[in-house]
Amino acid sequence: MGELLAILALVLFSSNIILTKVAASRLSLNLGFLISVSVNVLFSALILLVQFLFRPDQINWNTIGFLLFLLSGFFNTYLGRWFFFDSIDKLGPAKASAFQISNPLFTVLIACVFLGERLTLLDGIAILTVLAGLFLISYVPRAFAKKEVAATDQHIMDLEPEARQPGTISRKKTVLMQSGIFLALSSTFSYAVGNVLRGAAIHDWNQPILGALLGAVSGLALHFLTNSGTRTIWRDVKRADRKGLVMYIVSGMMTISAQICVIASMWYIPVSLANLITMSTPLLVTPMSYFLLKNQEGLTVRTVSGIGLVLIGITAIVLM
């Protein structure tokens, strides 16, 4: 059951990456992010209402779980997704999702230290197989170096001769923090921390729908508090491209549904395995980019081989 829920989350997350890339060309990421997270809250609240009407006995209270889900919202809904939205726009969907191969490694280490999770040898082999496949799918020789390093060097050159002064290190750090690579890596680490917090919360309080809602509320509140652009949201929505608006609304419904699925899966299987499956987005994003975005990301023999390895690894996890 846990594996099936994680696979469903994988499908939803992958579809959302493609949708976000298309929507970003019609609507600003800042407004799109706010719309998406707002829909997260509204849609999960609607699902929770349906659960309460039909199964009110399944809803209970746990303070520790409540706090953990709120904290997970800071890392997942706020930091993780914001970094990820920006990285998709800068790097493209397949390259942005490529950095998610580091997410399972972060998650395994954090879950091992803080949750005491221990994986079997076969689990470890399956994880390595999936990671190898994800690397083959995502790796594009020198693609990042040409785009990111060249842009960084050019920016530093523009700072001359001031760049030779004491503030140079500070400026270089600023350039790095604005790069697509930094944004993508920050996204993966934030997601890893958030997922471990969710795993801890679900074992104390088995409320995936309510947990997803709490995380969404936390992320939305933080966004309103830290973003001055929210003051003009209604005016921006009225002026927004209608198709882009609808795309971000659908994106919000998809992402919160995916989050509910992955949280629920953590009740049945280790956080590390649930996260590995759901973060294998290049498995679906790459072929979807090929057919829907006219091969903008590039599909080669290497990527097809990588897809095969990921399928083998995930199949092994499901069957074990």
Whether 121 shows a pLDDT value over 60: the answer reads yes
Q: How far apart are CA 206 and CA 198, in angstroms?
A: 10
In-domain check, residue 298: yes
In-domain check, residue 72: no
Q: How far apart are CA 187 and CA 189, in angstroms?
A: 6
Most confident of 123-127, 202-206, 292-296: 202-206
Q: What is the pLDDT of residue 102?
A: 76
> Please, which pLDDT band fits residue 156 given cuts at 50, 70 and 90?
very low
Distances 51 to 112, 197, 203 between C-alpha atoms, Å:
33, 23, 20
Whether 317 shows a pLDDT value over 50: the answer reads yes
In-domain check, residue 62: no
Q: How far apart are CA 198 and CA 70, in angstroms?
A: 9
In-domain check, residue 146: yes
In-domain check, residue 70: no
Indicate the angle between helix axes 301-319 and 282-292, nearest 10 degrees.
140
Rounded-to-10 torsion of CA 289, 308, 279, 102: -100
> Distance of alpha carbon 207 from its chain centroid, rounded?
21
Which of 132-146, 197-211, 217-231 is least confident? 132-146
Distances 114 to 83, 193, 274, 299 between C-alpha atoms, Å:
24, 10, 16, 39
Whether 184 shows a pLDDT value over 90: the answer reads no
Q: How far apart are CA 176 and CA 195, in angstroms?
A: 26
Q: What is the pLDDT of residue 183?
A: 86
Q: How many domains is the chain partitioned into structurally?
A: 1
Q: What is the pLDDT of residue 159?
A: 40
Q: How far apart are CA 258 and CA 240, in angstroms?
A: 26
Q: How far apart are CA 29 and CA 45, in angstroms?
A: 24
Cβ neighbours around 131 below 10 Å, total: 19
Rounded mean pLDDT of 237-249?
A: 91
Q: pTM of the prediction?
A: 0.79
Which of 68-72, 86-90, 147-151, 174-178 is least confident? 147-151
Q: Which of 255, 292, 269 is nearest to 42 (CA)?
A: 255
Query: In terms of residue numbers, what domain contains 154?
Result: 2-52+77-319
Whether 213 shows a pLDDT value over 50: the answer reads yes
Q: What are the tokens at 311? A: 């399928």
Q: What are phi and psi of 290, to 5 degrees?
A: -60, -45
Q: What is the pLDDT of residue 154?
A: 41
In-domain check, residue 65: no
> Please, which pLDDT band fits residue 78 given cuts at 50, 70 and 90?
confident
Q: What is the pLDDT of residue 158?
A: 43
Higher pLDDT among residues 176 and 201, named by residue: 201
In-domain check, residue 111: yes
